Amino acid sequence: MWHLTQIWRVAVYELRDAVRSRRAIVVLALYLVAAVGCMYGSISLLGRLEADLAKMLQLPASQKTGVVSTTLWKSKPFQHMVRGAVRDDMVYNDIVGKHPVELIYAWFTLTYAPLLVILVAGNRIADDVRSGAVRYMISRVSRGCWSCGKFAGQALMIGLALAAGTIGAYITARIRLYSAAGSYDLLLPMFNWSFRAWVYSFAYLGMALGVSHLTRSGSKATALGILVMALFALVPACCDFFAEPVGWQSYLPQLAQLVPGGHKSSISRSSLPVFIHASLFLIALGGCYLSAGFWFFRKRDC
């Protein structure tokens, strides 16, 4: 109980400190701008596609972006075409009926949440060790509680950043998109995707903080985090490419499960058991990465 209380106290402190950190504010602002920009850009693109489509079909052009694509998306022949394209009933069932903007936002948040994590949290432990600020904490709480508290505080911080991004993107969609204007039907689905991205980011957060335990330089820790993230992105692709039905290559798909990217599609599924399974796996992966870094830090002179 003492440990949990201490972890919570460190987490609250870390969140308060992180929110005031200039770097975190800049990264958060950039994420917000990127979310709004992505939404604005994709709706503009959608508008141009709709205009082209209307021209091709010799229909009167609509000033209201989203009307054509929503109608198209709901049409049976188009759905049939999508089913053929994805060649997976589960994936098809997950995406059919969803607004294109929701899917664009899902892509954005799942793609950029890991980068947001590395940029916001990558330096937090290394910088505290370098400045000596860690000493004021670990003379009061155990190193383990401190590391876990940092993780929890940063998870809350990332949650806030994702929520801010969602609100920004939603407001943009509401202003720019006809079918979302005047209704709140996109807000909850967008928050749902942010939540999924938040869970997905736990593994990256564990990695970023794990790496941050290894060095005294915040910049080096961030650079290492980005490098590891790039490696993580390569692993599932390589495993897919080299996988064979027999021999040692048959184990490659399992290897991909050891990196967050191996769970990206599972975390996006509508099926609750699949989502929970992927979430637990991602949280466990985050815990493992963090523990690996902490193992080095627990006896380190600082």
Place of tokens 């975190």: 24
- Examine residue 59 and tell whether it contacts another protein (CB under 8 A): no
For the bound state, the minimum distance from the C-beta of residue 13 to another protein, rounded and expressed in Å, comes to 5
Q: Which residue has the tokens 């998109």?
A: 177
**What is the total count of residues that contact another protein (CB under 8 A)?**
26
| 17 is a contact residue toward another protein (CB under 8 A) | yes
Closer residue to another protein in complex, CB, 133/171: 133
Out of 20, 182, 247, 272, point to the residue binding another protein (CB under 8 A). 20
Structure token pair of residue 213 = 């335990």
219 binding another protein? (CB under 8 A): no
Q: Which of residues 258-287 bind another protein (CB under 8 A)?
A: none
- Residues 261 and 122: their CA atoms lie apart, in Å, by 19
Per rule CB under 8 A, is residue 84 in the interface with another protein?
Answer: no
Residue 275 near residue 266 (C-beta atoms within 8 A): yes
Q: Which is nearer to another protein, 19 or 274 (CB)?
A: 19
One of 135, 185, 271, 295 touching another protein (CB under 8 A): 135
6 binds another protein (CB under 8 A): yes
For the record, the structure tokens of 16 come out as 């308060």
In this complex, which beta carbon is closest to another protein, that of residue 21 or of residue 93? Answer: 21
Residue placing its CB nearer to another protein in the complex, 136 or 248: 136
Report the 3 state secondary structure along 62-126: CCCCCHHHHHHHHCHHHHHHHHHHHCCHHHHHHHCCCCHHHHHHHHHHHHHHHHHHHHHHCCHHH
Interaction between residue 28 and another protein (CB under 8 A):
no
Binder to another protein among 55, 64, 80, 140 (CB under 8 A)? 140
Q: Which of residues 111-130 bind another protein (CB under 8 A)?
A: 128
Residue 21 sits in the site that holds another protein (CB under 8 A): yes
Nearest distance from residue 204's CB to another protein, in Å?
24
Tokens for 181, please give them.
């204007």
Contacting residue, 1, 2, 230, 272, with another protein by CB under 8 A? 2
Alpha-carbon distance 119 to 134, whole Å? 20
Please state the closest distance from residue 275 (CB atom) to another protein, in A. Answer: 36
Exposed e or buried b for every residue in 58-91, given b needs 16+ CB within 10 A?
eeeeeeebbebbbeebeeeeebeeebeeeeeeeb
Q: If binding is defined by CB under 8 A, does position 1 make contact with another protein?
A: no
Burial 156-193 (b: 16+ CB within 10 A, else e): bbbbbbbebbbbbbbebbbebbbbbeeeeebbebbbeb
In angstroms, the CA 87 to CA 69 distance is 21
Site for another protein contains 13 (CB under 8 A): yes
Pick from 93, 142, 192, 291: which binds another protein (CB under 8 A)?
Answer: 142
- List the structure tokens of 297: 């830090």
- Residues in touch with another protein (CB under 8 A): 2, 6, 9-10, 13, 17, 20-21, 128, 131-133, 135-143, 145, 299-302
